[in-house]
Amino acid sequence: MAVERVLEMDFSTELGRTQRIRVNDAKDPLTGAEVAAAMDSIIAKNIFTGTGGDLNGKQDARIIVTDSSELDLV
């Protein structure tokens, strides 16, 4: 059995679009305050850019937990 945690962060861009950044293997526990601080840092340092332009605001964030089990194919 494997449990995977993915952090998804949605940012607004200067062209009015939404840009999503996904981080695999998100730590547990992870607080909203920690994620907000990381998002603020990403925006301030302007380290990511896409077709929508520079990131300029926080929209949303979530942690997605997936639990998977291997099946024995006899």
pLDDT band at 50 (very low <50, low <70, confident <90, very high): confident
Higher pLDDT, 39 or 50: 39
Average pLDDT over residues 9-35: 96
Number of domains the chain is built from:
1
15 within a domain of the structure (yes/no): yes
Burial-class residue 33 by CB neighbours within 10 Å (0-12, 13-18, 19+). Answer: exposed
39 within a domain of the structure (yes/no): yes
Distance CA 13, CA 40 (A): 13
> Whole-prediction pTM value?
0.89
16 within a domain of the structure (yes/no): yes
Q: What's the pLDDT score for residue 59?
A: 98
**Owning domain of residue 62:** 2-68
In this predicted model, what pLDDT tens digit does every residue of 24-43 receive, in sequence order? 999 999 999 999 999 999 99
74 within a domain of the structure (yes/no): no
46 within a domain of the structure (yes/no): yes
Q: What's the pLDDT score for residue 49?
A: 81
73 within a domain of the structure (yes/no): no
